[in-house]
Amino acid sequence: MARKGSDSAELRFGLSRTSREVRDSAEGSVIGVILMIALCIALAATVYVWLSGSGAQEGTPQRSFGVTSSSALVPGSPTGNKSYDIAASTPGLHWSEVSVTINGVPQTQYLAAGPCADPPASAGPRVFVACSGNAIVASASDLIGAGGFLHVEANAGDTLRVVDTQANAILLVVTIV
């Protein structure tokens, strides 16, 4: 006797009711495994990004220091004189937190009270003079600020570098002209 409806189709293909339930159960298991694999991949990617720090900013932001040329190079013997206006710097940056080099040679900061109209001859070689307003910066703990002044002893073609000593990062590189 032939069955009607879906039962007749099952008999025709040789499937019983029990086989159909087994088949449906197997399809559900495959879909479940695929979803679990996708979930594991997404979780692994999230953990990787979190551990590698790709999504987070660490440390302090880099400081900045910018100058504009305020005068022509004055030739001299053995070195000339060059002055720069400080155009901008990171707020809170102190002279004690930077080093100044000419061609990689560290320069010492001249610290003495006095006017900044012309850097004093007593400053000598390998010395830089920093000014704030019209006065020489008398303490390395003074802030670097826009409107200040930086004077170096150098020749044309020399390289001036200002380095953040705390972060060991170059803030400024200028070829003296």
The rounded average pLDDT for each run of 10 residues, N- to C-terminus, in the chain (177 residues) is 52 58 70 92 90 62 85 80 89 92 89 70 72 85 89 89 90 91
pTM of the model: 0.62
Q: Which pLDDT score, from 0 to 100, does residue 134 have?
A: 79
Three-class SS state of 72: coil
- Which strand (E) or helix (H) includes residue 37? helix 17-52
Torsion of CA 49, 54, 60, 64, to 10 degrees: 180
pLDDT at 175: 92
- CA 88, 93, 94, 100 torsion: positive or negative? negative
Residue 147, pLDDT score: 87
Supply the pLDDT for residue 41: 95
173, 169, 144: which is closest to 160 by C-alpha? 173
CB 100: neighbour CB atoms within 10 A? 21
Tokens of 136: 């020489």
For the stretch 132-149, pLDDT in tens is 877 888 888 899 988 888
